[in-house]
Amino acid sequence: MDRRQLREALRLLDAHQAFARATVVSTSGSVPGKLGASMIVRSDGSSVGTVGGAALEEEVRRLAVEAIDRRAGGLHHFDLAAWKPAGLPSLCGGSVEIAVEFVPARPNLLLWGGGHVAQSLAAVLPTLEYDYSVADDRPDWVGADRFPTADRREVVAPRDLFDVFAPEEFTHLYLLGYDALKDLEVLDVALHRFPNAIGLIASASKREHLFAKLRERGASRESLARVRTPVGLPIGAQSPPEIAVSIVAEIVREMHPDDLRTRARDARASAPERDVGSRPA
């Protein structure tokens, strides 16, 4: 990967934007893109670098955008021979294999409420190179003493949250507030303005109360389905640090869905077959 691609990859990571990287991993015969040639493809199909140009590159660009949409890459074979079935309109005559790698957006969390769970999350996120900002309407709860590694710390009223923060900059919004009525106001605004994952810490009764109020305000079943509550993986978490671990674990799982499917498939394939005839009566 050349410097331009490295700079663009770092820019996209810092901007919390997903992208794909296509790399020539195998060649046979005459091909325009040599072994190791690579290309960065953004979600809009624009790119930096080259894997050989012409019809090959157009097809790889299409597959890269598809990989971003599916959140999973793949290995693709191309014959650069117009006379072969399914061959590309090329007269080079060789063949090439190109790996398309999906690179997920680096998480950038917006935390509403600077309490104990937010503090515990803030202690874990930098170790994973996840970015975060924190907002609260209590000045004493968003200081640098509590969140020294935050990108931003803002004192803001609930309904003004997305006048202070640009919602599209964040991959996740977590409502970790101390006041159900203020959580309600943040949720009401977020359902209309926040495009990505929304998590809410709430008991079953708080959830039902908030959702009933939101339905009264016109929230649809589909919009409420976007709100994850309880948050995190179900690991029996109770203390703020344990809840923080469960939240981070859920994000990690989201970032590697293809790896999880592969491991589950491998585990099933390696499991010993059970002899149904030997089961006890």
- Residue corresponding to tokens 């949409």: 69
pLDDT per residue as tens digits for the range 206-235: 999 999 999 999 999 999 999 999 999 999
Residues 117 and 66 in one domain: no
Query: Which of 249, 242, 117 minimizes the C-alpha distance to 174?
Result: 117
Q: Is residue 269 part of a domain?
A: no
Residues 61 and 119 in one domain: no
Query: Which of 178, 207, 161, 200 minimizes the C-alpha distance to 115?
Result: 178
Compute the average pLDDT of residues 178-195. 94
Query: Which of 229, 168, 174, 158 minimizes the C-alpha distance to 193?
Result: 168
With a cut of 80, say whether residue 258 has pLDDT above it: no
With a cut of 90, say whether residue 5 has pLDDT above it: yes
With a cut of 90, say whether residue 45 has pLDDT above it: yes
pLDDT per residue as tens digits for the range 129-164: 999 999 999 999 999 999 999 999 999 999 999 999
CA angle 50, 76, 36 (to 5 degrees): 40
Total domains, the chain: 2
Q: Is residue 252 part of a domain?
A: yes
Beta bridge partners of 102: 20
Q: Is residue 82 part of a domain?
A: yes
Residues 37 and 134 in one domain: no
Residues 126 and 180 in one domain: yes
Q: For residue 148, what are the contacts with CB-CB under 8 A and spacing of at least 6?
A: none
Residues 153 and 169 in one domain: yes
Query: Which of 148, 160, 217, 152 minimizes the C-alpha distance to 193?
Result: 160
Higher pLDDT, 34 or 267: 34
With a cut of 80, say whether residue 59 has pLDDT above it: yes
Give the CB-side neighbour count of residue 58, counting CA atoms within 13 A. Answer: 6
Residues 189 and 133 in one domain: yes
- Give the separation between CA 192 and CA 173, rounded to whole angstroms: 13
Write the CATH number for 223.
Answer: 3.40.50.720
Q: Is residue 58 part of a domain?
A: yes
Q: Which helix (H) or strand (E) holds 260?
A: helix 257-270
Residues 71 and 128 in one domain: no
Residues 208 and 125 in one domain: yes
Residue 90's pLDDT is what? 74
Residues 215 and 79 in one domain: no
The region that residue 105 occupies, defined by phi over 0 for left and psi between -120 and 50 for alpha, beta otherwise, is beta
Residue 269's pLDDT is what? 52
For β-strands 38-42 and 19-28, DSSP reports them as antiparallel
With a cut of 70, say whether residue 111 has pLDDT above it: yes
Q: Is residue 31 part of a domain?
A: yes
Q: Are 133 and 142 in contact (CB under 8 A)?
A: no
Task: Give the pLDDT band (50/70/90) at residue 84.
Answer: confident
pLDDT per residue as tens digits for the range 7-42: 999 999 999 999 999 999 998 888 787 899 999 999
Q: Is residue 278 part of a domain?
A: no
| Structural domain harbouring 7 | 3-103
Average pLDDT, the chain: 88
CA angle 101, 107, 109 (to 5 degrees): 165
pTM score of the predicted model:
0.77
With a cut of 60, say whether residue 281 has pLDDT above it: no
Residues 70 and 173 in one domain: no
**For 85-196, where are the alpha helices, taking DSSP H only?**
116-124, 161-164, 180-193
With a cut of 60, say whether residue 265 has pLDDT above it: no
With a cut of 80, say whether residue 274 has pLDDT above it: no
Q: Is residue 266 part of a domain?
A: no
